[in-house]
Amino acid sequence: MTTRQALLALAIALGLAGAARVPPAWADGAQRTASAISAAVDAEAPAAVDLLERLTTQNSGSFNRTGVEAVGRMLEAELKALGFRTRWVPMDAIGRAPHLVAERDGGHGQRLLLIGHMDTVFEPFHPFRKFTRNGDSATGPGVNDMKGGLVVMLSALKALRAAGALDEARITVFITSDEEAPGEPVEQSRRELVEIAKRSDATLCFESGISRDGRDYASIGRRGFTGWRVASEGRPGHSGGIFSAQQGDGAAFELSRVLSRFHDELREPNLTYNVGLMLGGANIKLEDAGIGSVAGKANIVPAEAQAIGDLRALTPAQVERVRQRMREIVAASLPGTTSTISFEGAEYPPMEPTPRNAALLARYSEASVAMGLPQVLTLDPLLRGAGDSAFVSPYVATITGLGAVGQGAHAAGESVDLTRLPVQARRAAMLIRMLSR
Ligand SMILES: [Zn+2]
């Protein structure tokens, strides 16, 4: 009996319990569910760490297709044991391991999409291989991004089953195989994910949770990125004639003009842009890998100049607005020169912070409080890189950051706080419960 139930029993015995003092039946039910979830998460906690060790010890660098699939099979076994029907989405055509999809439909409440990824940035040749436990923390490739998050998701589902709250839920789990290096074109590698998002009511993404100064955060938005290239051309000739009507200003000054105006004129909140490489002279050769060569002399007006860079923005509208400003700046060429800009290279859409995402995060925070845990706050979108949640957010309320809490994603020594796995699992389970009613 909880303290509250005990007090209520006492109040009834003393004849003090007026109608207004009796908690509504649902409150009692919610209390029972919360207690059952907590007890189940705690009971499952040691097995969760074992599972994290098994998932981490199996290398699953994005290009290690057999390794990624092996991690997928471990997850498939766990999900089948929870009564999910599973299937694989083949990706051979674009050189990636298959995605794993698991579904169950109890016919109640919102249609939930739970997403995560099973690949990591650590390919088999990387020296950072082992899972090591040091007291309350563990290190290993992908423990934080995001094998810990997969464990949180499974712990939440197991707790819901133990609390008798899984059967009625309508859940699709979608685990991508290539989040760290999406198969191109992304229209193909994300097609099935987007289709499921379109018929879902809420997406919960189990990438890393963030904790700072004792406060917990999740995300309703994150920036996307796109690459760009400016190519300038001028008339080659002797340096003594530069700035004359006949010679013009040369490609190097023209490219400098463009970049200088980018630097001064494009600044706005939530936007960054960088020049990663620039070349000027003649016979420029630039490979996709970012290796270039150029010829030039101090006394020759250069015929060509090129720069490549990236652009990171928070909304599709912002991306398009900045691209348009860049085109206008590029078009205003110096005498005797021309420049063009193209948007190319790797591209990831932004996840726009929408009101429906904010409303979902408010429910998550409410679920946290219902579990006796602190509120969950909204993370500054600049503090989270691009990810799969951006592909689904245009179609469905989406939040991310429900996963493990740790440090150093993508770097050797990446770690996870094991004491936070059960905390995150409790919150996620209660949110799923609330949305499934
Ligand atoms: Zn990730």
Q: How far is the CA of 54 from the centre of ligand 1 (A)?
A: 18
Cα of 181 vs centre of ligand 1, distance in Å, is: 10
53 CB neighbour count, 10 Å cutoff: 19
Distance (angstroms) between ligand 1 centre and the Cα of 174 equals 14
User: N- to C-terminal Cα distance for the chain?
Assistant: 25
Q: What would the DSSP string read from start to end of 328-386?
A: HHHHSPPTT-EEEEEEEEEEE--B---HHHHHHHHHHHHHHHHTT---EEEPPGGGS--
CA atoms within 13 A on the CB side of 285: 2
User: How many Å lie between the centroid of ligand 1 and the Cα of residue 107?
Assistant: 31
Q: State the residue for tokens 């040091």.
A: 134
Q: How far is the CA of 153 from the centre of ligand 1 (A)?
A: 14
DSSP state of 97: P
Q: How far is the CA of 141 from the centre of ligand 1 (A)?
A: 12
Ligand 1 centroid to residue 132 C-alpha, Å: 20
**Run of H or E residues at 426:** helix 420-435
Distance between Cα 180 and ligand 1 center (Å):
7
Secondary structure of residue 96 in the 3-state scheme: coil
Tell me phi and psi for residue 402, to 5 degrees: -90, 5
Residues 178, 133: Cα–Cα separation, whole Å: 27
Across the beta sheet with 376-378, the strand order is 210-212, 215-218, 376-378
What does the pLDDT look like over 377-410, one tens digit per residue? 999 998 888 889 999 999 999 999 999 999 987 8
Are 5 and 116 spatial neighbours (Cβ–Cβ below 8 Å)?
no
Q: How far, in Å, CA of 104 to CA of 223, rounded?
A: 32
Å from CA of 185 to ligand 1 middle: 19
Residues 165 and 33: beta-carbon distance below 8 Å: yes
Query: What is the Å distance from ligand 1's center to 406 Cα?
Result: 12
Inter-axis angle of helices 148-162 and 25-57, to 10 degrees?
140
Rounded to the nearest whole angstrom, what is the distance from the C-alpha of residue 387 to the centroid of ligand 1? 7
User: What spacing in Å lies between the alpha carbon of 161 and ligand 1's midpoint?
Assistant: 27
How far does residue 391's CA lie from ligand 1's centre (Å)? 14
- H or E element at residue 29: helix 25-57
- pTM score of the predicted model: 0.84
Ligand 1 centroid to residue 123 C-alpha, Å: 15
- When computed from its CA atoms, the radius of gyration of the chain, rounded to whole angstroms, is 27
Q: What is the pLDDT along the chain (437 residues), one digit of tens a residue?
A: 444 444 444 444 443 433 334 445 556 678 899 999 999 999 999 999 999 999 999 999 999 999 999 999 999 999 999 999 999 999 999 999 999 999 999 999 999 999 999 999 999 999 999 999 999 999 999 999 999 999 999 999 999 999 999 999 999 999 999 999 899 899 999 999 999 999 999 999 999 999 999 999 999 999 999 999 999 999 999 999 999 999 999 999 999 999 999 999 999 999 999 999 999 999 999 987 788 999 999 999 999 999 999 999 999 999 999 999 999 999 999 999 999 999 987 678 999 999 999 999 999 999 999 999 999 999 999 888 888 999 999 999 999 999 999 998 788 999 999 999 999 999 999 999 999 98
Gap from CA of 434 to ligand 1 centroid (Å): 26
CA of 114 to the centre of ligand 1 (A): 14
Task: Compute the distance from residue 266 Cα to the ligand 1 centre, in Å.
Answer: 30
CA of 426 relative to ligand 1 center, distance in Å: 21
Cα 416 to averaged position of ligand 1 atoms, centre (Å): 13
70 C-alpha to ligand 1 centroid (Å): 18
pLDDT tens by residue, 114-165: 999 999 999 999 999 999 999 999 999 999 999 999 999 999 999 999 999 9
| 221 Cα: distance to centroid of ligand 1 (angstroms) | 15
Distance 145 CA to ligand 1 centre (A): 5
Give the distance (Å) from ligand 1 centre to CA of residue 351.
15
Domains defined for the chain, CATH in brackets = 45-222+351-435 (3.40.630.10), 225-347 (3.30.70.360)
**CB distance 209 to 217 below 8 Å:** yes
CA of 338 to the centre of ligand 1 (A): 41
Ligand 1 centre from 375 Cα, in Å? Answer: 24
